[in-house]
């Protein structure tokens, strides 16, 4: 099992959630209206007057074979709208209860 942490501009919410639904990543936890700034480029997302956009983060746990299709689709979304910012990170899940 793998954990996929996805952080993205709130404007991409519908596309990201549709991707998870279509690829059967049923279980997730979502945090809305979070702040962030990319490591190398892109505008900050602080939800204030100067930087009004905000981010959303999703954590989903999936079978190993679902990781590549999900990441491929997320890369496609990011490629279509790079100004928004979308990042995904994958971790191994060593135990579950």
**β partners of residue 8:** 56, 86
pTM: 0.91
Q: DSSP secondary-structure letter at 36?
A: B
CB 87 within 8 A of CB 24: no
Which two structure tokens, joined as six digits, stand for 72?
Answer: 């491929």
- Residues in the chain predicted with pLDDT less than 70, given as ranges, are none
Percent of the chain scoring above 90 in pLDDT: 72
Contacts of 44 (CB under 8 A, 6+ apart): 35, 36, 37, 51
Tens digit of each residue's pLDDT (9 = 90 or more) over 29-48: 999 999 888 777 777 888 88
Going along the chain from its start, the domains and CATH numbers come out as 2-92 (3.30.70.120)
């Amino acid at each position: 099992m793998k954990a996929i942490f996805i952080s993205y501009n709130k404007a991409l919410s519908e596309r990201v959630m549709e991707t998870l639904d279509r690829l059967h990543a049923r279980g997730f936890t979502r945090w809305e209206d979070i702040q962030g700034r990319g490591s190398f480029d892109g505008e900050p997302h602080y939800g204030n007057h100067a930087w009004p956009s905000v981010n959303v983060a999703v954590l989903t746990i999936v079978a190993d074979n679902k990781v590549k299709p999900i990441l491929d689709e997320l890369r496609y979304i990011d490629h279509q709208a790079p100004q928004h910012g979308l990042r995904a990170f994958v971790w191994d899940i060593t135990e579950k209860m």
